Amino acid sequence: MSFPSGKHFLQIPGPTNVPDRILRAMAQPTIDHRGPDFARLGFEVLEGLQDVFKTRSKIVVFPASGTGAWEAALVNTLSPGDRVLMFETGHFATLWREMATRLGLDVLFVPGDWRHAADPELLESALREDRGGRIKGVMVVHNETSTGAASSISNIRQAIDRVGHGALLFADTISSLASMDYRHDEWGVDVTVAGSQKGLMLPPGLSFNAISEKAQKASNSSAFPKSYWDWQPMLAANKTGFFPYTPATNLLYGLRESLCMLREEGLDNVFARHNRHAEATRRAVRAWGLEILCLDPSQYSSSLTAVLPPPGNNADALRKVILERFNMSLGSGLGKLQGKVFRIGHLGDFNDLMLAGTLSGVEMGLTLAGVPHCPGGVTAALDYLASL
Ligand SMILES: *Cc1c(COP(=O)(O)O)cnc(C)c1O
């Protein structure tokens, strides 16, 4: 490819394609974040977010990547030395564990094979053994972006309730919010962590904590030192529509537009669209004769699919061919999956023909990179898309 004409295909599982409507909304003059017009924007996004998280509780917005919201969730609710339980679902769960360890939390890490979601039965037995109530928090990555396996947060909640354990429940929805069904209140989540650059279709730079009343109470006795991430000044300023320090004003313009788009489409339709594109993608992968990394069909992610090329074929070499020939970025294998998988992002602002283009690029790339496969993946996906 000598000159990259046409649009780049950004088919990584975040950041996702930012719709023109959002780009235009962000291209407005920055306003005084302490002036009278700002509060309207502040209230509008803080209220609008509640529908997306499905909560009546408070949501705080940080000018930060998702990693910042991970840290905020931990340092506002817990204290150094607290024991927490996390599941090794993949790379992101491992990174969150590393952060918790560095902060001085005592992490019980339930081992996993990076091909399955978090197991509620293992959680239940771990909590039953915790007779002294030492475990203060349970952290689950809802949609493990490195593997394409999604955990059932409602089953996790039920496991905690069966034991009657008092631990706080934390869910990372960075790659599932506004792409896959999620219910902060109904599922009894105490802190939901999210980011702007995936299902919300925004550029990177905003992240979120949705906070239950129980989590707010826990924050009163949390002994972690904190300043930038402290919920209290945030919640206090948010009462009048403002922020304690300069917010990312233009990203908030984009967020207002994103919330508008999600309302127009309807969240249930957004989820159905993601389910449909995920199923079409899996049909393509199966027709190629390639393996889907996630082993349990009930755990398939609707925002991305991680694919294993046959042994001896480097996934990064394939991704390189696809980028150079077709100007399309696919997700790389992360952590111990480096070079072993490629990930097709099908979340955010996306439609049938974008998926058709994406899968066509993969199918041609497989041929060009000499990866053994059967033809017909694109056809299988198109047949499915045309059938409903
Ligand atoms: C993308 C992602 C993160 C990391 O978010 P950053 O914005 O890169 O800090 C964490 N967890 C999950 C599940 C993700 O998909």
Q: Encode the chain (388 residues) as per-residue pLDDT tens digits.
A: 678 899 999 999 999 999 999 999 999 999 999 999 999 999 999 999 999 999 999 999 999 999 999 999 999 999 999 999 999 999 999 999 999 999 999 999 999 999 999 999 999 999 999 999 999 999 999 999 999 999 999 999 999 999 999 999 999 999 999 999 999 999 999 999 999 999 999 999 999 999 999 999 999 999 999 999 999 999 999 999 999 999 999 999 999 999 999 999 999 999 999 999 999 999 999 999 999 999 999 999 999 999 999 999 999 999 999 999 999 999 999 999 999 999 999 999 999 999 999 999 999 999 999 999 999 999 999 999 999 8
Residue 172: CB within 6 Å of ligand 1?
yes
CA-143 nearest atom, ligand 1: 13
pLDDT of res. 156? 98
Ligand 1 in reach of 141 Cβ (< 6 A): yes
Atom of ligand 1 at shortest range from CA of 175:
15
Q: Say if residue 346 is in the same domain as residue 238.
A: no
Residue 67: CB within 6 Å of ligand 1? yes
Atom nearest to 142 CA in ligand 1: 13
d(CA 374, CA 315): 17
Task: From the CA of 65, give the closest atom in ligand 1.
Answer: 7
Q: With a 6 A CB cut-off, is 14 part of the ligand 1 pocket?
A: yes
255 and 317 fall within a common domain: no
Strands, sheet with 168-172, edge to edge from the N-terminal-most edge strand: 58-62, 207-211, 191-195, 168-172, 135-141, 83-87, 106-110
For 110, the 3-state DSSP assignment is strand
Atom of ligand 1 nearest to the CA of 207: 7
* Same domain, residue pair 252 and 286: no
**Within this chain, do residues 98 and 187 fall inside the same structural domain, yes or no?**
yes
301 lines ligand 1 (CB under 6 A): no
Residue 110: other Cβ atoms inside 10 A: 16
Q: Taking CA 51 as the corner, what is the angle to CA 253 and CA 237, rounded to the nearest 5 degrees?
A: 55
Give yes or no: residues 295 and 232 share one domain.
no
Q: How many angstroms separate the alpha carbon of residue 330 from the centre of ligand 1?
A: 16
Closest-CA residue, ligand 1 atom 6, reads 66
Same-domain status, 350 and 259: no
Is 3 contained in some domain?
no
Pocket flag, ligand 1, residue 139 (CB < 6 Å): no
Structural domain tally of the chain? 2
**CATH number of the domain encompassing residue 315:** 3.90.1150.10
What is the whole-number distance in angstroms between the Cα of residue 140 and the centre of ligand 1? 13
| End-of-domain residue from the set 263, 285, 307 | 263
**Ligand 1 pocket check for 195: Cβ under 6 Å:** yes
Q: 167 and 271 share a domain?
A: no
Q: How many whole angstroms separate alpha carbon 157 and alpha carbon 159?
A: 5
Beta strands 304-308 and 291-292, pairing class: antiparallel
| Alpha helices (H) along the chain | 20-26, 36-53, 66-77, 91-103, 120-129, 153-163, 213-221, 231-238, 249-265, 267-288, 315-326, 352-368, 377-387
State the distance from the centre of ligand 1 to the C-alpha of 35, rounded, in angstroms. Answer: 33
Give the CA angle between residues 69, 73, 78 to the nearest 5°: 155
DSSP 8-state secondary structure symbol assigned to residue 336: G
My answer on whether 158 and 79 are in the same domain is yes
Residues with Cβ within 8 Å of residue 19, at least 6 apart in sequence = 201, 261, 349
Q: How many beta carbons lie within 10 A of that of residue 309, not counting itself?
A: 22
Give the sign of the dihedral formed by CA 60, CA 61, CA 62, CA 64.
positive
Residue 133 forms part of a structural domain:
yes
Q: Provide the b/e sequence for 157-187 (b: ≥16 CB within 10 Å).
A: bebbeebebebbbbbbbbbbbbbbbbebeeb
Boundary (domain end) residue, out of 229, 263, 297: 263
Q: Are residues 297 and 366 in the same domain?
A: yes
* Neighbouring residues of 183: CB distance < 8 A, sequence distance ≥ 6: 54, 153, 154
- 170 Cβ inside 6 Å of ligand 1: no
Cα 168 to middle of ligand 1, angstroms: 21
- Report whether 85 contacts 123 (CB < 8 A): yes
Q: Which atom of ligand 1 is nearest to the CA of 14?
A: 1
Tell which one of 175, 177, 191, 337 to mutate to probe ligand 1, the residue whose CB is within 8 A of the most ligand atoms. 175
Domain enclosing residue 35, as ranges = 20-263
3-state helix, strand, coil in the chain (%, to 5): 45, 15, 40
Picking from 263, 286, 303, the residue at the C-terminal end of a domain is 263
Q: What ligand 1 atom has the least distance to the C-alpha of 173?
A: 13
- Residue 145 alpha carbon to ligand 1 centre in Å: 8
Buried b (16+ CB within 10 A) or exposed e, 50-73: bebbbbebbbbbbbbbbbbbbbbb
Dihedral of CA 290/292/298/301: which sign? Answer: negative
Q: Give residue 3's pLDDT.
A: 87
Ligand 1 in contact with 254 (CB < 6 A)?
no
Q: What is the DSSP letter of 222?
A: -
| Ligand 1, atom nearest to 69 Cα | 9
d(CA 310, CA 269): 35
Q: Is the CB of 66 under 6 A from ligand 1?
A: yes
Assign 209 to helix, strand or coil.
Answer: strand
Tell whether 277 and 330 lie within a shared domain. Answer: yes
